[in-house]
């Protein structure tokens, strides 16, 4: 009975929940890196100004995060921009497979160089990214609108 019930859950609903969950993690992380612009529908916090990367973000990328080969300022800007843009793309289901790939790569970098002890959390993010890369965004997405009928 449980198996039958679970099989009746539409795949597109599962993919939407996966997209929302993954996007929320990276969006909220991105929001901690900036001042001047905030959008959070759960807390109803909205500040529609010009975003500025915080001094704390620059400090963390320079002194805490051990990213090889990348200058800290470049890494801070790139990570902040990527977290915002890729989260939005995944949420709306546009270029989902590519956006999920980007988030998977970010997850691997975070796991290897920033927070290596958080493998359980990062494994979850990676699993969701892989699901979206394999299955796509589902019916509730802009990708679906772009598909030929």
What residue ranges in the chain does DSSP mark as E strands? 34-40, 45-53
Please report, for the chain, the start and end positions of each structural domain, with discontinuous segments joined by +: 20-137
* 149 has a pLDDT exceeding 70: no
Confidence at residue 146, expressed as pLDDT on a 0 to 100 scale = 81
Does residue 24 contact residue 90 with C-beta atoms inside 8 Å? no
Confidence at residue 45, expressed as pLDDT on a 0 to 100 scale = 86
Confidence at residue 83, expressed as pLDDT on a 0 to 100 scale = 98
Confidence at residue 101, expressed as pLDDT on a 0 to 100 scale = 99
* 87 has a pLDDT exceeding 70: yes
* 147 has a pLDDT exceeding 90: no
Q: Which sign, positive or negative, has the C-alpha torsion 39, 133, 125, 73? A: negative
Indicate the DSSP class of residue 147: S
How would you class 134 by CB atoms within 10 Å of its CB: exposed for 0-12, middle for 13-18, buried for 19 or more? exposed
Q: pLDDT digit string (tens) for 50-61?
A: 999 999 999 999
Rounded distance between C-alpha atoms, residue 50 and residue 142, angstroms: 27
Confidence at residue 2, expressed as pLDDT on a 0 to 100 scale = 80
Rounded distance between C-alpha atoms, residue 26 and residue 134, angstroms: 20
Mean per-residue pLDDT of the chain: 94
Rounded distance between C-alpha atoms, residue 48 and residue 83, angstroms: 18
The predicted model gives 91-107 an average pLDDT of 98
């Amino acid at each position: 009975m449980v198996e039958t019930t679970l099989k009746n859950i539409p795949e597109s609903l599962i993919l939407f929940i996966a997209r929302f969950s993954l996007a929320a993690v990276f969006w909220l992380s991105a929001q901690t890196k900036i001042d001047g612009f905030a959008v959070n529908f759960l807390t109803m916090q909205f500040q529609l100004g010009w975003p500025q990367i915080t001094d704390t973000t620059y400090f963390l990328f320079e002194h805490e995060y051990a990213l090889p080969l990348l200058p800290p300022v470049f890494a801070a800007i790139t990570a902040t921009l990527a977290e915002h843009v890729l989260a939005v793309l995944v949420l709306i289901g546009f270029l989902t497979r590519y956006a999920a790939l980007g988030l998977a790569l970010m997850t691997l970098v975070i796991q290897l160089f920033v927070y290596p002890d958080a493998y359980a959390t990062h494994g979850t993010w990676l699993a969701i990214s892989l699901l979206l890369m394999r299955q796509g965004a589902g019916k509730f997405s802009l990708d679906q609108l772009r598909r030929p009928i």
